[in-house]
Amino acid sequence: RSDRQQFPEETMNIIKSAFSGGVIGWVYGGLPAFRHARKEFIARSHGELFQNRADAVQSAHRAGLRSFIRYGWRWSWRVAAFVAIFNTVSTGLSVYRNKTTISNFAAAGAFTGALFRMHLGLHGLAGGSVFGIAFGIPAGGLLMVMQKLAGETLQEKRNRERRELYEQELAEWQSRLGVTEVLGQKESSAQGEPQREIARES
């Protein structure tokens, strides 16, 4: 955290992107499951008796909603975890190297893909790395283009904020130093007056 007890912008971006990835994953996994479960329910329930048409429609929607929640959650946490790990690694590399390059995103994609496929053995590890690189390069390129279109990259913003903070702290330090010098002059002049009075008396 910063001196103002605020999280860095990079941390907030990782949290926001993970949340967005979770929502997108839920929709991506949930909507097809909702449609499929609804169709399956309608196909299976031709012989069932319902009180009225609204009851039949509600039953079909409930079946679809159950599938939407179940399969949407499965995709949601996986996509959110993938995005969070990918962004954490790429942001860490960018901060460590103090520059944003495509190689940061490629390395982050390779690491994340390998991590997600390591349970499948060496072939899964290699395949996950290749998939991660194939995903990381276009995603990184898109992020870099969006930052340039915004007019300022995260590195430039971080450097500008550091420079502004340094200048602000320097100005505060100089103002305190000026106050200290003024107080020192007042104390020396206050001490000099009694000595002059003693000299006059003597």
Instruction: Write the pLDDT tens digit of every residue in 102-123.
Output: 888 889 889 988 888 888 888 8
Q: For residue 98, how many other CB atoms are within 10 A of its CB?
A: 9
Is residue 80 scored above 80 in pLDDT? Answer: yes
Q: At what angle do helices 102-117 and 122-150 cross, to 10 degrees?
A: 150
The encoded tokens of residue 187 equal 């104390």
CA distances from 139 to 18, 143, 148, 184 (A): 14, 6, 14, 60
- The verdict on pTM exceeding 0.95 is no
Q: Compute the distance between CA of residue 106 and CA of residue 152 in angstroms, rounded to an integer.
A: 22
> Which has the higher per-residue pLDDT, 188 or 85?
85
Name the amino acid, one letter, at 53.
R
- Identify whether the C-beta of residue 14 lies closer than 8 Å to the C-beta of residue 91: yes
Phi then psi for residue 2, to 5 deg, are -85, 180
Q: Would you list the domain boundaries of the chain?
A: 6-151, 154-201
Instruction: Read off the pLDDT of residues 37-71 as tens digits, 9 standing for 90 and up.
Output: 888 877 777 656 566 667 667 777 788 888 888 88
Which candidate, 135, 131, 155, 134, places its Cα nearest to that of 144? 155
Q: What pLDDT, on the 0 to 100 scale, is given for residue 62? A: 82
Mean pLDDT computed over 117-131: 86
Mean pLDDT computed over 121-142: 87
Mean pLDDT computed over 175-194: 65
Among 67-81, 87-101, 188-202, the least confident range: 188-202
Q: What pLDDT, on the 0 to 100 scale, is given for residue 6? A: 67
Is residue 87 scored above 60 in pLDDT? Answer: yes
Q: What pLDDT, on the 0 to 100 scale, is given for residue 98? A: 77
